[in-house]
Structure formats: structure tokens, C-alpha cells
């Protein structure tokens, strides 16, 4: 053990922490300008090694800043079944990340002691990275951290975040979830997709076409790798593939969702189905332009509605009594929640932002469909649900309709990456559903009409002054802010608004929805002003839109 600590001490001097720099574990791990992250990466290598020793399982470390600009980077830690690490370990990660250089060993020993880790236990860590220019040296820092504590590492190199989650889960289920290789990932998903689309007999070549905006990131590379396995059942025109444009710049899922407009770099014909990935391909949003050139977005809420409708219909056809629920966050459009609860009659839950929260809520049901409005989401099937579906596919007494439904459900389970939201897997599922239902993007869009909405960002000197409750729908501090929001909301029809500190960017996010776009824009601006005035705004006062 002594020798290991000496090695950590020696190696960490190559990855020194800038004195006084304090970083918080955010919505999805540490994330900031890449120049501040070298020590964080080394230490997260240490962290993952400890977590691996503790769980006696393989842990993942993904170097990415997802939707953030190219100059940022970050790290996401992946637990044994492919989920995010637990809140307790987020605290340990923060402790280790922020220990001054001379206190690193003390912090490390403290965590080992508190969590009663057997240091003689083997450790295995899978590492992946996105396409950012800083990712190569930062992932090397992670690998250095793992090696210095005597852990084994496997460097997957360039992969999407959900691919790394998948590898970790495959490894820890001894291959039951799939093979822990890219080949295994593509084969599992594409085979399931092709099985599903066999049920789409009337699908024309036009309907098989999809424009994909790769955000100039890793998702584009991986779509290219996978494409040939789709056997023309899906014909992809790939834009923003990274060959010239800048990562996430004027493109990608976050840009499209927040700006409510198409990305640059994509040639869109009216009526054509398009989708955008984000920078690490764990989010997806769809959209199209109508014949008047007007932009229509199908975000995470519309995706959740499409998927849950499909699953509910199949459960009825199969005669399976499984409890299905949809998990959303405060950003979910009011119309989507209304439609899901009142028209579809499914259970809807609301959690705080962050996949980790939605994922856990979804685990409480037989089938938990979770999506953030920004397009981050997946479907979780309980063990019971998977077993019942499996049994029905083999039931010789089952009628044709229920057997067909069971087979469709089984292939749906296989096309979905249940470890985390996955743009590639979600895209294949959505494409299969549209093909099977013979549904156009316009018909999908028409399921319900979104309430006009607006999202804004406000810069404040310390965003931690804002504290929220009720799944982030109400602010408890600073004093007077919630009262101000309440009275502003009252001035608009069908209105709702909330504010929360971002956990990935140094901003406060403001969301507003109302009966008209003018009203939503005005409310978002008014609430931004309240944040600026009551929560220590910096720079110029927010201007009306
Ligand atoms: C991450 C999280 C998402 C979250 C998003 C924005 O996404 O995984 O759950 O919605 O950040 O979070 P915030 O509003 O706190 O900045 P990604 O795709 O950027 O990793």
C-alpha cells in the first residue's frame, strides 16, 4: 500500500492542482474550461480505481463536456451497471478533486477508510473520450491516475458516452447485456432494428431517409461506423460530421432545442425528417420544416410520448399487465404532461434535472420511459418485464397477435441502450416506430401542440445563491425571487416559469412557457430581470427578446 501511495504522490506532481481552485461536481460530473482540468482527470482516475475496488466491478470514466463549447471539457463517472455514480461518491469525488496538492494523500486515505476499501482488491477501469482537442491529454491523465493506484485500464479511445456506459454494463454482466466491444454494440442494436423494421411492410424509400446533424462531434463518427450494418433499412444523410465545422457551434441538439431553429450546415427540404445529436451523442431531438419553411421541433417530450404510446399499444396487444410510467423534469412542456396524464392515462413523475435522477425514478416501474425535454433519455425494463416478454415469445398457446407484439417488445428491448440516454439507439428506436406505424414526422408532431416556451441564461456572480425545491419548480433562495416569479407568471395566460442554477455551465437557467410565443418571451425576459436583480447579476441587464 505504501508503494502505491508513493506512486500516487510521484505521479500527481505531474498533474498538479492549481492552488485555491475549487470545482463542484455538477449535473453530470466536473465540467469547465479544459485548461483547469488536468488534475481533476488524474484524480478521477484515482477515484474510479477506488470505486472499482469497492464494488469489485469495472468502472467507466468518460472524458467529455457534451453540449458545452469546444474549449470546455469534463468527466462523467460510470458505475457498474452503466448508471451514474451514487450521491455519496459524488461527495468523495468533490473531496478528492478539491484537496490541495499537499493534502491529496490524506484525502485519498480518508476516503479509503470511510468506505472500508480493501486495497488489495483488483481494479478495472474503462476509459473513453470525445473528439475535443483537449480530450487526448485529459484521458491520458485519467489513465495515469488509474495506473498510479495499481488499477488496470482499458482505453476505448473515441466513443460516445452511451457506448462507454454500454461497455461497462456488458463487462459487469459477464456479457449478458451484450459484448463489450463496439462491434458488439453495433450488432446488437442494428440486428434489433432490422428485426423491428421487418414489421414495416409499407415503408417507402422516402420514409427510410433521415438527415442527421452530428454536431461536429463523436456521434457523427460513430454513425458512419454503424451505417453499413443498417442494410439500407435506414438511409442517413450525415451533416456536421466534424470535417470542417466546430463542435456544437450553431449545431447539435442543445443549439436546436434552446434556439428553436435548425442547425447551420444541414440542407433541409420541406417535410424532411431531421435529427440532431449533442457533442457526446447522449441526446437527440427531431425537427422538420413545413411547406411554409416554418420550423417544428420534436423534443424529448415528443419522443417520450411516441415511445410510450408504442409500448402501451404493444402491451395491450400482447395482453401483458405491466406498469408503464413516464419520467420528466420541470422543463417538460405543459402540453406533454397534460397529454400523457389525461389522454394516455400513464403515470407521470417529475424529478430534478440530471439523468441520474430520472433514471432512478424510472427504475420503480415495470417499464420506465424517461426523457428530459432536451432529448436525453431512454427506457428501462424491469427484470420481471423482460422475463414476461421473453416467456410470451415462446408461449405455444399464445395467439398470433400477442406473439407478434411480444416479439416487437423483445426487439424494442434490444434496440434500446438501457444504461443511459443514447442518441444512436434512440434514433433507431424512433425510426423503427415511425416505420412500423407508417407515421410521418408531421403526424407524430400533431399528437399534441407544444405550449410556446423560451429558455434563457443569466450570468450571476455566484449561481449557488439560487436554491430550489419541488423538483426545481420553486426557488427557496434568494429571498423574494419566488414571490417575484409568482407575480410575473400571473400576468400571462397558461403560464409557468422557474429558474435553476445550471450544473454544467456558469449560468442560471430561466424557463418560461405561456399561451403565445410573445407571452413566453416576455415572461422569460421579466423573470431573467428578476434573477439579475435579486441574485447578483453581472454584466449588462438582460434585454427583451
Ligand atoms: C447534462 C446532463 C443532463 C442535463 C444537462 C443540462 O447533459 O446529463 O441531464 O439536462 O446536462 O444540465 P444543466 O441544466 O444543469 O446545465 P449533457 O448532455 O450536457 O451531458
Domain-wise residue ranges, the chain = 2-158, 184-297, 300-423, 453-534
Among 376, 423, 472, 510, the mutation site with the greatest number of ligand 1 atoms within 8 A of its Cβ is 376
Q: Confirm or reject: Cβ of 28 under 6 Å from ligand 1.
A: yes
Q: Which ligand 1 atom is at minimum distance from the Cα of 280? A: 18
Residue 129 confidence (pLDDT): 98
State the distance from the centre of ligand 1 to the C-alpha of 262, rounded, in angstroms: 20
Mention every residue, 6+ apart, whose C-beta is less than 8 A from residue 116.
none
Q: Report the alpha-carbon distance of residue 139 to residue 136 in Å, rounded.
A: 5
Grid coordinates belonging to 22: 475549487
Residues 261-274: what's their mean pLDDT? 95
Tell me the three state secondary structure of residue 197. helix
Would you say the C-alpha torsion 271, 277, 278, 279 has a positive or negative sign?
A: negative
Give me the CATH topology for the region 300-423: Alpha-D-Glucose-1,6-Bisphosphate; Chain A, domain 3 (3.40.120)
On the 0-12 / 13-18 / 19+ scale of CB atoms within 10 A, 243 is: exposed
Centroid of ligand 1 to alpha carbon of 355 (angstroms): 8
CATH for 453-534 is 3.30.310.50
Query: Considering only CA atoms, which of 262, 307, 300, 305 is closest in space to residue 282?
Result: 300
Strands 124-129 and 209-213: unpaired
Pick from 370, 382, 394, 380: nearest CA to 318: 394
Asked if the model's pLDDT at residue 285 lies above 90, the reply is: yes
Quote the percentage of the chain above a pLDDT of 70: 100
Tell me what pLDDT residue 3 has.
83
Residue 195 pLDDT > 90, yes or no? yes
Q: Does residue 109 register a pLDDT over 80?
A: yes
Average pLDDT in the 331-336 region? Answer: 98
- Rounded (to 5) percent helix, strand, coil in the chain: 45, 20, 35
Burial category of 93 from C-beta neighbours within 10 Å (exposed 0-12, middle 13-18, buried 19 and up): buried
Q: Give residue 500 CA to ligand 1 midpoint distance, Å.
A: 12
Q: Above 80 in pLDDT, residue 1?
A: no
Return the CATH number of the domain spanning residue range 184-297. Answer: 3.40.120.10
Q: Does the beta carbon of 373 lie inside 6 Å of ligand 1? A: no
Is residue 236 within 8 A of residue 177, CB to CB? The reply is no
Spacing of C-alpha 379 from chain mean position: 12
Asked if residue 278 has its Cβ within 6 Å of ligand 1, the reply is yes
Average pLDDT, the chain: 97
Atom of ligand 1 nearest to the CA of 354: 9
Q: Which of 311, 283, 282 is nearest to 299 (CA)?
A: 283
In CATH, which of 1.10.10.920, 3.40.120.10, 3.90.110.10, 3.40.91.50 is domain 2-158? 3.40.120.10
Residues serving a catalytic function are 66
Please check the confidence at residue 203 and state whether its pLDDT lies above 90: no
Ligand 1 lined by 307 (C-beta under 6 Å): no
C-beta of 502 in contact with ligand 1 (< 6 A): yes
* Closest to 47 measured CA to CA, from 104, 7, 101: 104
Residue-wise pLDDT tens digits, 507-534: 999 999 999 999 999 999 999 999 999 9
Question: Do 220 and 235 meet the contact criterion of CB atoms below 8 Å apart?
Answer: no
Distance 27 CA to ligand 1 centre (A): 6
Distance CA 262, CA 297 (A): 9
The per-residue pLDDT for 497 is 98
Pocket of ligand 1 contains residue 503 by CB under 6 Å = yes
- Dist. CA 163 → ligand 1 center (Å): 17
Backbone angles phi, psi at 239, to 5 degrees: -120, 165
pLDDT in tens, 43-90: 999 999 999 999 999 999 999 999 999 999 999 999 999 999 999 999
**Alpha carbons 505 and 509: distance in angstroms, whole number:** 9
Indicate if ligand 1 lies below 6 Å from the C-beta of 66: yes
User: What is the spatial distance between Cα 18 and Cα 39, in angstroms, rounded to a whole number?
Assistant: 8
C-alpha span between 429 and 80 (Å, rounded): 25
Across the range 152-181, mean pLDDT stands at 98
- Is residue 281 over pLDDT 80? yes
Cα 162 to ligand 1 centroid, rounded to whole Å:
14
Does 2 have pLDDT greater than 80?
A: no
Whole-number Å distance, alpha carbon 121 to ligand 1 midpoint, is: 34
| Gap between the Cα atoms of 340 and 336, Å rounded | 6
Q: Is 32 in the pocket of ligand 1 (CB under 6 A)?
A: no
Going by alpha carbons, the residue nearest to atom 20 of ligand 1 is 66
- Measured from the CB, is residue 531 less than 6 Å from ligand 1? no
The ipTM is: 0.97
Looking at ligand 1, which residue's alpha carbon is closest to its atom 9?
Answer: 354
Q: Distance between CA atoms of 259 and 53, rounded to whole angstroms?
A: 44
The CA-based angle 475-477-480, given to 5 degrees, is: 85
Chain Cα centroid distance, residue 325: 18
Q: Kindly state the cell numbers that stand for 299.
A: 423534443
Asked if residue 201 has pLDDT above 90, the reply is no
Give dist(CA 297, CA 275) in Å, integer: 9
Q: Which atom of ligand 1 is nearest to the CA of 505?
A: 16
pLDDT tens string 406-434: 999 999 999 999 999 999 999 999 999 99
Measured from the CB, is residue 505 less than 6 Å from ligand 1? yes
pLDDT of residue 412: 98
Residue range 361-382, pLDDT digits in tens: 999 999 999 999 999 999 999 9
Q: What is the pLDDT of residue 256?
A: 98
User: Peptide bond before 478: cis, by omega within 30 degrees of 0?
Assistant: yes
Same fold, 300-423 and 453-534: no
Relative to the CA of 282, which ligand 1 atom is closest? 18
Query: b vs e for 304-342, b when ≥16 Cβ sit within 10 Å of the residue's Cβ?
Result: bbbbbbbbbebbebbebebebbbbbbbbbbbbbbebbee
The predicted pLDDT at position 206 comes to 80
* Contact by Cβ (8 Å): 482, 475: yes
| pLDDT digit string, tens, across residues 478-511 | 999 999 999 999 999 999 999 999 999 999 999 9
Amino acid at each position: 500500500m505504501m508503494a502505491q501511495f508513493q506512486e500516487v504522490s510521484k505521479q500527481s506532481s505531474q498533474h498538479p492542482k492549481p492552488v485555491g481552485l475549487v470545482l463542484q461536481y455538477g449535473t453530470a460530473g466536473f465540467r469547465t474550461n479544459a485548461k483547469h482540468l488536468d488534475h481533476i482527470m488524474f484524480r478521477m482516475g484515482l477515484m474510479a480505481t477506488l470505486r472499482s475496488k469497492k464494488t469489485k466491478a469495472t468502472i467507466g470514466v468518460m472524458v467529455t463536456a457534451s453540449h458545452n463549447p469546444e474549449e470546455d471539457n469534463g468527466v462523467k463517472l460510470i458505475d457498474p451497471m452503466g448508471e451514474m455514480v451514487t450521491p455519496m461518491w459524488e461527495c468523495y469525488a468533490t473531496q478528492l478533486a478539491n484537496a490541495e496538492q499537499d493534502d491529496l494523500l490524506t484525502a485519498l486515505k480518508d476516503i479509503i477508510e470511510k468506505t472500508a476499501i480493501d486495497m488489495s482488491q483488483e481494479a478495472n477501469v474503462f476509459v473513453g473520450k470525445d473528439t475535443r482537442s483537449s480530450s487526448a491529454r485529459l484521458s491520458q491523465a485519467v489513465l495515469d491516475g488509474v495506473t498510479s493506484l495499481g488499477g488496470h485500464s482499458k482505453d476505448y479511445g473515441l466513443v460516445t458516452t452511451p457506448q462507454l456506459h454500454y461497455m461497462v454494463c456488458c463487462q459487469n454482466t459477464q456479457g449478458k447485456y451484450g459484448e463489450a466491444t463496439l462491434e458488439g454494440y453495433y450488432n446488437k442494436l442494428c440486428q434489433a432494428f432490422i428485426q423491428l423494421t421487418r414489421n414495416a411492410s409499407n415503408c417507402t424509400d422516402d420514409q427510410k431517409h433521415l438527415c442527421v446533424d452530428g454536431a461536429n462531434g463523436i456521434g457523427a463518427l460513430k454513425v458512419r461506423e454503424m451505417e453499413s450494418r443498417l442494410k439500407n433499412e435506414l438511409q442517413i444523410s450525415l451533416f456536421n460530421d466534424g470535417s470542417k465545422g466546430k463542435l456544437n457551434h450553431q449545431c447539435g441538439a442543445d443549439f436546436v432545442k434552446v434556439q428553436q431553429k435548425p442547425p447551420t450546415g444541414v440542407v433541409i427540404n420541406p417535410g424532411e425528417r431531421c435529427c440532431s445529436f449533442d457533442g457526446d451523442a447522449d441526446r437527440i431531438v427531431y425537427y422538420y420544416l413545413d411547406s411554409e419553411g416554418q420550423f417544428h421541433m420534436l423534443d424529448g417530450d415528443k419522443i417520450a410520448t411516441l415511445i410510450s404510446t408504442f409500448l402501451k399499444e404493444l402491451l395491450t396487444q400482447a395482453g401483458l399487465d405491466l406498469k408503464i410510467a413516464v419520467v420528466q423534469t420541470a422543463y417538460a412542456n405543459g402540453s406533454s404532461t397534460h397529454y400523457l396524464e389525461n389522454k394516455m392515462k400513464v403515470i407521470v413523475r417529475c424529478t430534478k434535472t440530471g439523468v441520474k435522477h430520472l433514471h432512478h425514478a424510472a427504475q420503480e416501474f415495470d417499464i420506465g420511459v424517461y426523457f428530459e425535454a432536451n432529448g436525453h433519455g431512454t427506457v428501462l425494463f424491469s427484470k420481471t418485464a423482460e422475463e414476461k416478454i421473453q416467456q410470451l415469445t415462446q408461449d405455444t398457446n399464445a395467439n398470433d397477435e400477442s406473439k407478434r407484439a411480444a416479439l416487437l417488445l423483445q426487439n424494442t428491448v434490444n434496440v434500446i441502450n438501457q444504461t443511459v440516454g443514447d442518441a444512436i439507439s434512440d434514433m433507431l428506436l424512433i425510426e423503427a416506430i415511425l416505420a412500423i406505424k407508417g407515421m410521418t414526422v408531421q403526424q407524430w408532431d400533431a399528437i399534441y401542440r407544444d405550449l410556446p416556451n423560451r429558455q434563457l441564461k443569466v450570468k450571476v456572480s455566484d449561481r449557488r445563491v439560487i436554491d430550489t425545491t419541488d423538483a426545481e419548480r420553486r426557488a427557496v433562495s434568494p429571498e423574494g425571487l419566488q414571490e417575484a416569479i409568482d407575480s410575473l407568471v400571473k400576468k400571462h395566460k397558461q403560464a409557468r416559469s422557474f429558474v435553476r442554477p445550471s450544473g454544467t455551465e456558469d449560468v442560471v437557467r430561466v424557463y418560461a412557457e405561456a399561451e403565445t410565443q410573445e407571452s413566453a418571451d416576455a415572461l422569460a425576459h421579466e423573470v431573467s430581470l428578476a434573477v439579475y436583480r435579486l441574485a447578483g447579476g453581472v454584466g449588462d441587464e438582460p434585454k427583451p427578446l
